[in-house]
Structure 1
Amino acid sequence: MCCGKCAKCLGTILIPLAVLCTIANILLFFPGGTIQDSANISDEVWYFGGILGSGLLMLFPALVFLGLNNNDCCGCCGNESCGKRFAMFSSIIFAAVGILGAAYNIVVASLGVHKGPKCLTYEENNTWSYPFNHGDYLDDKTLWELCKGPESIVTWNLTLFSLLMIMGCAQAVLCLFQVINGLFGAICGDHKCCEGNGAV
């Protein structure tokens, strides 16, 4: 098994996931697909879980994983495999960063789903508020009528935050797999990179 090729495959998957998480977070700034005042946007959207956690932070491990397969560090310290071992070990650190970023996104998205959207309600003089308490609207769709606007705001909010949670979980699993892959590569080494360059 070539640990570098496996890491490259993980990086290839993480990049589009990071882009999708960023897009999902950006769409949450437009409740129900409409342009609203910043005060009318749910607080959890401003935590940038998809943009920072599963977006920007995830790019670091993804790019590192992509570069591992092309990393030529043979002959380091008189040992042809130690450079590759160090590269694989360093990938574990970046994988941990990715796990933290994904975890942040998952927590923020979970809070967004649980709290529900900020929407226009008629109960308090047509003001924007959070009409749902403790995720009760998830089991009772009749409560969705408490949100008078924007149209389909509950579905919009629930769908996008749920997608962020799912993609965040996928990213966390992939980064966790790289931790295992990196440990394997750091302990066992990967002599194929040296053999490809004519080293003995």
Structure 2
Amino acid sequence: AFTSPCARILVAMCVGTCSRIVGPCLLVLGTLSMAASILLLFPGGASKYLVEGHISKHAKAVPGIWGGGIIVLLAAIHITAVGWRCAGCSDCGTRHNAFISAVLSKLALLGAAACFIFSGVGLTNGPLCFYNASEHSHRHGTVWGYPFLDTDKNYLYDPRTWSTCLEPEGIVAWNVVLFSLLLLISAAEMVLASFQILNGCLGCLCGFCDGKKSPP
């Protein structure tokens, strides 16, 4: 525990400052996560594939919306609001708010982790596309499926194989870019959420403010 008043004040000031940095960062990342997940549903900007059901299952799961998006944004809004309202060191920097911040950050960590896992699997499996099945299996003709799912080589390291997908046009690059973006975003969210959990725990001990009160 922090026995020195000066130590409490210094830690509280740091906790409040960090909250004012972490909150907006999570707001930006959560918004980008939702945008990337929505774009995955519209390959090349076309809506017909979503209407026809020709979207990969991991893209349809929209992990960037519920995992890296909404859950993270809920935590980010609370962290940002408390952090900036306490910039003047009003009485909103309570240990109760610090506890709520830590709990919401844990939920954000879980949501970001789920988004990371879904995005990783989606990137590994490759997109759902229209391709010539006779070149990849015992089936004949062109079908909708996952041509890179059961191959020995990793398609990510061989862009020459991306032309296997005939439709939607450019779907492989579309999925690779957006799922990779979701991986990076969710990884950053996990780091920030973990940091805010520690920050919130310190806030439970010292509060968010430096002990001063705003003038009435």
TM-score w.r.t. the length of structure 2 is 0.80
Q: Name the stretch that deviates more: 125-134 or 104-113.
A: 125-134
Q: Name the stretch that deviates more: 127-136 or 49-58.
A: 127-136
* Correspondence 1:57 to 2:71: yes
What residue number does 2:122 align with? 112
Q: Which secondary structure does the structure 2 equivalent of 1:98 belong to?
A: helix
Q: Percent identity?
A: 34
Paired residue type of 2:145: S
C-alpha RMSD of the superposition: 2.1
Q: Which secondary structure does the structure 1 equivalent of 2:31 belong to?
A: helix
Paired residue type of 2:166: K
Give every structure 1 segment of 4 or more consecutive aligned residues whose post-TM-superposition deviation is greater than 6 Å: none
Q: 1:110 to 1:191 in 2, by over 3 A?
A: closer
Q: 1:13 to 1:145 in 2, by over 3 A?
A: same
* Correspondence 1:177 to 2:180: no
* Correspondence 1:39 to 2:53: yes
What residue number does 1:98 align with? 108
What residue number does 1:78 align with? none
Q: Which secondary structure does the structure 2 equivalent of 1:40 belong to?
A: coil
Q: What is the CA–CA distance in structure 2 between the aligned matches of 1:148 and 1:61, rounded to whole Å?
A: 41
Q: 1:41 to 1:191 in 2, by over 3 A?
A: closer
**Distance apart, 1:153 and its partner CA:** 0.8
Aligned residue pair count: 190
In structure 2, the gaps of 5 or more residues are: 1-9, 134-139
Q: What is the CA–CA distance in structure 2 between the aligned matches of 1:150 and 1:29, rounded to whole Å?
A: 12
Q: Which secondary structure does the structure 2 equivalent of 1:128 belong to?
A: strand
Q: 1:144 to 1:188 in 2, by over 3 A?
A: same
* Correspondence 1:16 to 2:33: no
* Correspondence 1:196 to 2:196: no
TM-score w.r.t. the length of structure 1 is 0.86
**Which gives a bigger RCO, structure 1 or 2 (Cα 8 Å, sep 6+)?**
2
CA offset digits 1:108-161 (Å, max 9, x no partner): 100110000011112243221100026721122232222112221100000000
